[in-house]
Amino acid sequence: MAALSSQSRGVVRPQQHAEQQRIGYRGGGVVVATFARSDAPALAAIAAGGALGSSLRYGVAAWLPRRGDIPWQTMAVNVVGCFAIGVLMVCVTEIWVARRLPRLFLGVGVLGGFTTFSTFGVEVRTLLESGRTVSALGYLGGTVVASVGAVVIGAGATRWWRRTGTGTAKGGRR
């Protein structure tokens, strides 16, 4: 954004103007998100996926009982969601080239709605404020390590599955 602000003081070259129009630059250093009508299908896919993902998250939270200090429901959805994004990213980049809308529906919508970093942050803060520092730090560290590990395991398992010969979709790359 700083680069756009400094450019607005001088002569705007045609390519700069095109870039500013593309990102919704309105002058004065303010960037406003704008969407073209062509973005409507993408936004609809993300919204539908988000509704499904957040509904799944609610279902998991209702299904898993809360035990002790650690909010296991949030940790479970974040770790499972990270595993799923590891699988999805290998699928859309190495196995089959996903079309834009299914990728947005699944990755941004479903998995974005299913996982919840904001709830995780609030839960850590709540544990800290209530004096349960050990639980808060354990939850914080455990969730981060387990979530990153889940991405690595999900991606690795998908690559392994692909190498065994069962993971190549019709028309996929080998």
Q: Tell me whether residue 143 is annotated as binding.
A: no
DSSP symbols for the chain:
-HHHHHHTTSPPPHHHHHHHHHHTB-STT-B-----GGGHHHHHHHHHHHHHHHHHHHHHHHHSPP-SSS-HHHHHHHHHHHHHHHHHHHIIIII----HHHHIIIIIIIIHHH--HHHHHHHHHHHHHTT-HHHHHHHHHHHHHHHHHHHHHHHHHHHHHHHTTS---TT---
Q: Which residues are annotated as a binding site for Na(+)?
A: 112, 115
Q: Which residues are annotated as a binding site?
A: 112, 115
